[in-house]
Amino acid sequence: MFNQCQFIGNLGAEPEIKAFQSGGRIANLRLAVSESWKDKDTGERKERTEWVSVVLNSDGLVNLADRYLRKGTKVFVSGKMRTRKWQDSNGNDRYSTEIVVGGFDGKLVMLSGKPEGESQFAKQDEPAYPFDDLSDDVPF
């Protein structure tokens, strides 16, 4: 069996960082994934956007999201699809499908340039910003 999903899209909101009493953290992202095509009958360009829920559950990725990701940032994510069952305030069962990014096979790559106001030089106690020269053009 193989459970691997990959998406490229723009963040529709600021990352939502949640901390747990155990000390662990996760980040929730809302990713807008769009496709466009030309209507065969009218010749008109059409576009459709799907919203993908993404959960980052490794410390490194949560730190990256907290520090660098902002609404509108273009990212590539690769992770596993998971459906969670939960109950709403009325006790009804609800289901949420999300992409979980973490572990050895999860990936998050920023495809946008560095955020406004970020220096291209790292402070002494911080790693260099690794995404300075990326463009929005993805070669696939």
Give a yes or no: residue 73 inside a domain: yes
Strand pairing category for 93-101 and 45-56 = parallel
| Domain count within the chain | 1
Quote the CA–CA distance of 24 and 58 in Å, as a whole number: 9
Helix intervals (H) in the chain = 59-68
Q: Residue 120's pLDDT is what? A: 42
Give a yes or no: residue 72 inside a domain: yes
The range of the structural domain enclosing residue 52 comes to: 5-37+45-110
Give this prediction's pTM. 0.75
CATH code of the domain containing 27: 2.40.50.140
Give a yes or no: residue 131 inside a domain: no
- Coil/strand/helix, residue 17: strand
Give a yes or no: residue 86 inside a domain: yes
Q: Residue 127's pLDDT is what? A: 42
Give a yes or no: residue 130 inside a domain: no
Beta-bridged to residue 84, according to DSSP, are 96
Q: Which of 109, 116, 48 is nearest to 74 (CA)?
A: 109
Q: pLDDT digit of tens for each residue in the chain (140 aa)?
A: 789 999 999 999 999 999 999 989 999 999 999 999 999 999 999 999 999 999 999 999 999 999 999 999 999 999 999 999 989 999 999 999 999 998 888 999 999 876 555 544 333 344 444 444 444 444 44
